[in-house]
Chains A and B, each alone.
Chain A
Amino acid sequence: AQSVTQLGSHVSVSEGALVLLRCNYSSSVPPYLFWYVQYPNQGLQLLLKYTTGATLVKGINGFEAEFKKSETSFHLTKPSAHMSDAAEYFCAVTRGAAGNKLTFGGGTRVLVKP
């Protein structure tokens, strides 16, 4: 079985400040990990993904995430928040290449203050 825990259902950051969203997972096999973003009244869009290889992955809109196997974590960061980053962010895991289902965390809503 696999599961995902996102610490903090709401995060408030000032424009220009660091964005840090935490994600921890559990998986019995090497996982594939994803971050998705959901803007208001829209579906989910892929931000970035880790499958194999380099553990620091870069995504769209200046976001990046680092896979740390020893900590079972996949935290999402952005050095400088922009007003357009206000959205809900979801971490997700699947069982590597053999997986056929994504398991999502509960989501973290990001508010960006001017």
Chain B
Amino acid sequence: NAGVTQTPKFRVLKTGQSMTLLCAQDMNHEYMYWYRQDPGMGLRLIHYSVGEGTTAKGEVPDGYNVSRLKKQNFLLGLESAAPSQTSVYFCASTIGPGRFSNTGELFFGEGSRLTVL
């Protein structure tokens, strides 16, 4: 199984440009997440989704949009990139509550490193 796959893995943008990060999972998970990782700040939740067609804001949602049109995919968009959005972005997924085997464990992709000049 591929697990959680993120594309692209690296990207350099100029201020004001737009881009989309794609996350795909093949584990039939209900819940999907986008985090950003910055030195000394751990992982901070940007947006998340508890099912196909639903999205919700996390801790640091400003400047980002998301969509979950298909259960297996979760897209993160930057409409007008800013240098403050230079970061490593991680997608993660989990089964979701109410399932016998659910314990809240997240499965992570390998990350997408974004630099905004």
Task: Give the A-binding residues of B (Cβ under 8 A).
Answer: 4, 31, 33, 35, 40-45, 48, 50, 58, 90, 92, 96-97, 102-106, 108-111
Contact = CB atoms under 8 A, between A and B. Distances in A.
Interface of A: 4, 6, 9, 32, 34, 36, 41-46, 49, 51, 90, 94, 97-107
Given A44-B92, A100-B31, 4 more contacts: A46-B105, A49-B104, A97-B102, A100-B97
A43 B48 contact: no
Given A44-B90, A99-B97, A104 B42 contact: yes
14 contacts: A9-B40, A32-B103, A34-B104, A44-B92, A44-B106, A46-B105, A46-B106, A49-B105, A97-B97, A100-B31, A102-B33, A102-B45, A106-B41, A106-B42
Nearest to B30: A100
A97 B105 CA distance: 11
Contacts of B40: 9, 106-107
A86 to B, nearest CB: 17
A31 to B, nearest CB: 10
Contacts, number: 63
A43 B111 CA distance: 6
Contacts of B4: 43
Most A CB within 10 A of own CB, among B31, B42, B43, B104: B104
A102 B31 CA distance: 12
Contacts of A98: 97
A34 B102 contact: no
B109 A102 contact: no
A96 B79 CA distance: 35
A104 to B, nearest CB: 4
Nearest to A96: B104
Contacts of A42: 110-111
